[in-house]
Amino acid sequence: GIDKVYLCRGGKAEPVEITKGLRTDAQVQVLRGLNVGDTVITSGTMQLRAGQAVTVTVNGKRKTENGKLETGNGKLESENEG
């Protein structure tokens, strides 16, 4: 079926229609609508509006535009570290 997900593009929420395929309890196959490297927003989506400013976090750490993670003490680390 066709559904809508929100992507983070340029620090803003952007709705995108996707076409789903097979589904299990833990995974959903996306046949159309996403590209490699897209950042899909997975929490807080009920309150999102198109164009709303969003902050991407990975394990509670804010992700910057260059893909680094802030550690909370002003330092940056790569996503593969800690």
Residues 35-78 have pLDDT tens digits of 998 999 988 888 999 999 998 887 777 776 666 666 655 444 44
CA gap 58, 49 in Å, rounded: 21
CA gap 68, 77 in Å, rounded: 6
How far is Cα of residue 56 from the mean position of the Cα atoms in its chain? 7
Position 43 scores a pLDDT of 87
Position 61 scores a pLDDT of 77
pTM for this model (two decimals): 0.71
Q: Could you report the per-residue pLDDT of 21-41, keeping only the tens digit for each? A: 999 999 999 999 999 989 999
CA gap 34, 7 in Å, rounded: 9
